[in-house]
């Protein structure tokens, strides 16, 4: 049975490459999810947009707690409570990179 993994992204400099890691697990036949917390992205490259689309095509998703990312990037909105519930379903939880300094 395919495993489920969820990445948590809390630092802007680590987020887009982290999504590439999430795609990497999707390619390995896992259900792979990511959540962008705290940080707003004005725009991202076509390469990174494609990575997000590929994650979605492989039955994963990239969520965000930030409204602007829903509007500008078309990401799926999620609340902190919903993240917690989602994490309960996961086999692997990846608090990715480093916590942003003003939230640690």
Partner 1 sequence: MAKSVGIFVTSPRYMRHVVGITKAAVAKGSKVKVFFSWYSTHLTQCAEFPALCKMDDVDVSICADSYKNSGYDVNDIPQGLDAKKMATQAQHGVIIDDYDCYLTL
Partner 2 sequence: MKLLNVYRSEPNDDVKKLVEIVSKDRDVVSFDLNVENPDYDKMLDMVFDADQTICWW
Which stretches of the chain bind partner 2, using CB under 8 A? 10, 37, 80-81, 83-85, 87-88, 91, 93, 95, 97-99, 103-104
- By beta-carbon proximity to partner 2, the closer residue of 48 and 96 is 96
Residues 68, 74, 89, 92: which binds partner 1 (CB under 8 A)? 92
| Unique residue bearing structure tokens 């802007």 | 12
In the list partner 2, partner 1, none, the entry touching 70 (Cβ below 5 to 8 angstroms by class) is none
Residue 20 C-beta: closest distance to partner 2, Å: 19
Nearer to partner 2, 58 or 87 (CB): 87
- What are the start-end ranges of the E strands in the chain? 4-9, 31-36, 61-64, 76-77, 92-96
Q: What does DSSP say about strands 61-64 and 4-9: parallel, antiparallel, or unpaired? A: unpaired
Give the CA angle between residues 34, 40, 44 to the nearest 5°.
Answer: 75
The answer to whether residue 91 forms part of the interface with partner 1 (CB under 8 A) is: yes
Cα separation of 11 and 9, whole Å?
A: 6
Question: Which C-beta is closer to partner 1: that of 54 or that of 70?
Answer: 54
């Amino acid at each position: 049975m395919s495993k489920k993994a969820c990445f948590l992204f809390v630092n802007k400099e680590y987020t887009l490459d982290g999504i590439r890691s999430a795609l990497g697990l999707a390619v390995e036949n896992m259900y792979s999810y990511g959540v962008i917390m705290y940080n707003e992205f004005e725009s991202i490259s076509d390469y990174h947009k494609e990575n997000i689309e590929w994650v979605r095509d492989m039955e994963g998703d990239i969520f965000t707690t930030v409204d602007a990312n829903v509007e500008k990037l078309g990401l799926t909105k999620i609340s902190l409570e919903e993240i917690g519930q989602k994490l309960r379903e996961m086999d692997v939880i990846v608090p990715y990179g480093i916590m942003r300094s003003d939230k640690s």
